[in-house]
Chain A
């Protein structure tokens, strides 16, 4: 299925890297980068829906202002957003057990992935 990718990360380098890998993906339709989780939240509220297209969000956890957990809280408070064809992958450098456990509480999260992004990761997401 044609996929629109959103990457939310405060680190410019990971945004750039993610874009490079995703543009190599077989399912990629577009890649949008967000420095701030707050901006991504707005974009999700306003995004257009297509029957034959989906959205995949790569979400970093440790970010200033609104971190990954805060983003998920805000998202899950608006069930209407979750009805959209959207999948969320947490993509973080955290190998902290507490973070992994905490993420399991959020039903909106499809999978917990560790940085950095790889070609295999993109293939895996495209295939699922």
Chain B
């Protein structure tokens, strides 16, 4: 009996005269009085040759029944089977559960999933339906996610293509030039050694740049206080040594509040800007060449400006300079990665970068970064 109650929360116990003597706890939600079975239920199936009598039902014990609770406003139907338990031979037990088509059906009858036995196939189906509903929502989210990931992959792929092209071209060029120089007659090779060294260093710089680029994608942001003065002096010193030119630098730092950002990216950006300012200085100007850097910080942002009177950029090339592997001038010792790195990193820091330039007069880059909060 306990098993029956547990397995069929909608069970019915009928006596010889088909009076309802007991019903399951979940059935109680739909049926509010005992009374006669005949007054509450009619047979939907079997619908032929069956009457509301103990003997008649007993003839259909091995059959599948559908009963309708016809007084109920929603006319709930039950599917199941009648059994006669060997210890209660004068009773008919109906073992079944509601015939529900959807989750809404379930809710309309104030029923919950807990009203059903765990093994119940009806509830299994409903759970599955419910799952499908969830899946549908999941699916649309998944499609959007996939679409986004796909676009991202496409971008990464395009960049990879560009990098592979660079490796087979821009990387090979200095190597091939060195090979060419080394294959000269011995007496000439010695003279060319400094050129070979210079060429290989150029290749190394390209590789360092590419490494910075890939790091930007991989390394998480880590905010700390930026020491502008130290960062700029260090960078300026390094690149003056590398290019063997000392161009006067004017530094004006107006820091009302400390500036917090990602040191690795800020340093890389500053290195690339200072290196460009030194590299593209006009030799004819000699001592009148200059680099002017001004920094202004406030609690919300930092504005960094670097101005030079170097060779400048043609107006028609200006829109392309931030593109990967773009080289505006032939004199350009560059590899077309530096400004692209700046653009990518500034974007990563949610900042902005703008450029103004006049050919043979000079270039000004203005960058704006948000001032981050320290954890």
* A residues lining the B interface (CB < 8 Å): 10-11, 13-14, 16-17, 20-21, 24, 35-36, 62-65, 93-96, 115-119
Contacts and interface: CB of A to CB of B under 8 A. Distances in A.
Contacts of A24: 185
B242 interface: no
A64 B173 contact: no
A14 B330 contact: no
Contacts of A64: 327-330
Given A20-B188, A116-B183, A118-B183, A14 B177 contact: yes
Contacts of B176: 93, 115-116
Interface of B: 165, 168-169, 172-174, 176-177, 179-181, 183-185, 188, 195, 199, 327-330
Question: Taking chain A's interface residues, is the majority helix, strand, or loop, or is none over half, making it mixed?
Answer: loop
B249 to A, nearest CB: 28
Contacts of A13: 174, 177, 195, 199
A63 B170 CA distance: 11
Q: Which of B174, B179, B330 has the most CB of A within 10 A?
A: B330
Contacts of A117: 180
A62 B172 CA distance: 12
A93 B169 contact: yes
Contacts of B188: 20
Given A13-B199, A118-B183, A62 B169 contact: yes
Contacts of B173: 11, 14, 93, 115
Contacts of A10: 330
Nearest to B199: A13
Nearest to A63: B330
A93 B169 CA distance: 6
A11 B165 contact: no
Contacts of A118: 180, 183
B301 to A, nearest CB: 35
A103 B184 CA distance: 29
Contacts of A17: 177, 180-181
Given A16-B195, A36-B330, A64-B328, 15 more contacts: A11-B173, A13-B174, A13-B199, A35-B330, A63-B330, A65-B330, A93-B169, A94-B169, A95-B172, A96-B169, A115-B172, A115-B177, A116-B179, A116-B180, A117-B180
Contacts of A36: 330
Contacts of A11: 173, 177
B78 to A, nearest CB: 72
Q: Which of A96, A115, A119 has the most CB of B within 10 A?
A: A115
B257 to A, nearest CB: 43
Contact of B184 (A20, A93, A96): A20
A116 B328 CA distance: 24
Nearest to B198: A13
Q: Which of B173, B185, B188 has the most CB of A within 10 A?
A: B173
A24 B184 CA distance: 10
Contacts of B199: 13
A63 B328 CA distance: 10
Contact of B180 (A63, A65, A115): A115
Contacts of A116: 176-177, 179-180, 183
A114 B199 CA distance: 19
List the 8 shortest-distance A-B pairs measured between CB atoms, nearest first: A116-B180, A93-B172, A115-B176, A13-B177, A116-B176, A17-B180, A10-B330, A93-B173
B180 to A, nearest CB: 3
